[in-house]
């Protein structure tokens, strides 16, 4: 069973018919079960359509271009390389550590202290700090990742007697990574601990050195 007027029910529901035709349709609906059934079928649609705007429909239909996908794909590649490097590194780590220990001794035959590198993790935060003798104390190089983006951080050096010295401060980037250089008046051998903390004094990561 069909009705020749059924295809006007959509326009009726959306309220786009001219006033005269609209009234005629309203009268017709009272007597036509086919058109009433179409009206009931569509009744909820205007409410659902109102959940989004025309602009959103256009945005969703024409998604970010191929260029944006390539940007994502490149970011994924970087992540993949990092992952691969890490798995290779961890697999070869034991061998390398033994080799490095030997090299380190061989590379500083004159007796001056080699830089010390320590890695540490705390939850999501992973970090590595290198401490090296400088003219008036130590130079520290910190590599950090996993810090919430926008987080203010500071690098604190703690001496053997518990004295604290802020060696640098910065804000984590969007990616939550940072490479920071800092200086301390303490000689490397006097550095007892290195801490990365928030301005409120919450430890993000802690490197005990002795």
Partner 1 sequence: MNLVGLWAVGRVVGSTTADDETLRALWNEHAGPLLAYAMRLTGGDRGRAEDVVQETLLRTWRRPPEADPERPSLRPWLLTVAHRIAIDHHRARQARPTEVGEAALAGVAVDDDVDRALESWLVLEALRSLSQTHREVLLETYYRDRSVAEAAATLGIPEGTVKSRTFYALRSLRVALEERGVTS
Q: Footprint of partner 1 on this chain (CB under 8 A)? A: 6-11, 13-14, 16-18, 38, 41-42, 44-46, 48-49, 51-54, 56-64, 68-69, 71-73, 75-76, 79-80, 83-84, 87-88, 91-92, 95, 148-152, 171, 173-174
Residue 92 vs 118, nearer CB to partner 1: 92
| Residue 23 or 41 with smaller CB distance to partner 1 | 41
Minimum distance from residue 1 beta carbon to partner 1 (Å): 16
Report the candidate in 124, 126, 103 with the shortest Cα–Cα distance to residue 115.
103
For residue 162, report the phi and psi dihedrals to the nearest 5 degrees: 90, 0
- If you search the block for the tokens 């926008």, which residue do you land on? 150
Specify burial of residue 136 (Cβ count, 10 A radius: 0-12, 13-18, 19+). Answer: exposed
Instruction: Return the sign of the alpha-carbon dihedral for residues 3, 8, 14, 16.
Output: negative
Which lies closer to partner 1 via its Cβ, residue 52 or residue 107?
52
Q: How far is the CB of 182 from partner 1 (least distance, A)?
A: 20
State the nearest-atom distance from the C-beta of 13 to partner 1, in Å: 7
Q: Which is nearer to partner 1, 76 or 160 (CB)?
A: 76
Is 184 exposed, middle or buried, given 0-12, 13-18 or 19+ CB atoms closer than 10 A?
A: buried
In whole angstroms, the minimum distance from the beta carbon of 24 to partner 1 comes to 13
């Amino acid at each position: 069973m069909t009705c020749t007027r059924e295809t006007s029910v959509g326009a009726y529901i959306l309220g786009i018919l001219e006033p005269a035709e609209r009234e005629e349709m309203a009268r017709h609906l009272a007597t036509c079960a086919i058109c009433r059934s179409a009206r009931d079928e569509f009744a909820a649609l205007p409410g659902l359509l109102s959940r989004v705007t025309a602009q959103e429909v256009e945005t969703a239909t024409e998604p970010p271009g191929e260029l944006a996908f390539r940007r994502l794909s490149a970011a994924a590649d970087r992540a993949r390389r990092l992952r691969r490097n890490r798995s290779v590194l961890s697999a070869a780590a034991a061998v390398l550590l033994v080799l490095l220990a030997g090299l380190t001794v061989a590379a500083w035959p004159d007796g001056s202290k080699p830089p010390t590198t320590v890695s540490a993790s705390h939850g999501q935060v992973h970090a590595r700090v290198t401490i090296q003798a400088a003219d008036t104390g130590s130079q520290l190089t910190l590599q950090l990742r996993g810090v919430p983006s926008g987080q203010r951080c500071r690098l604190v050096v703690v001496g053997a007697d518990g004295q604290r010295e802020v060696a640098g401060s910065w804000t984590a980037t969007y990616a939550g990574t940072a490479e920071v250089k800092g200086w301390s008046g303490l000689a490397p051998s006097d550095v007892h601990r290195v801490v990365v903390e928030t301005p409120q004094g919450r430890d993000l990561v802690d490197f005990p050195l002795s």
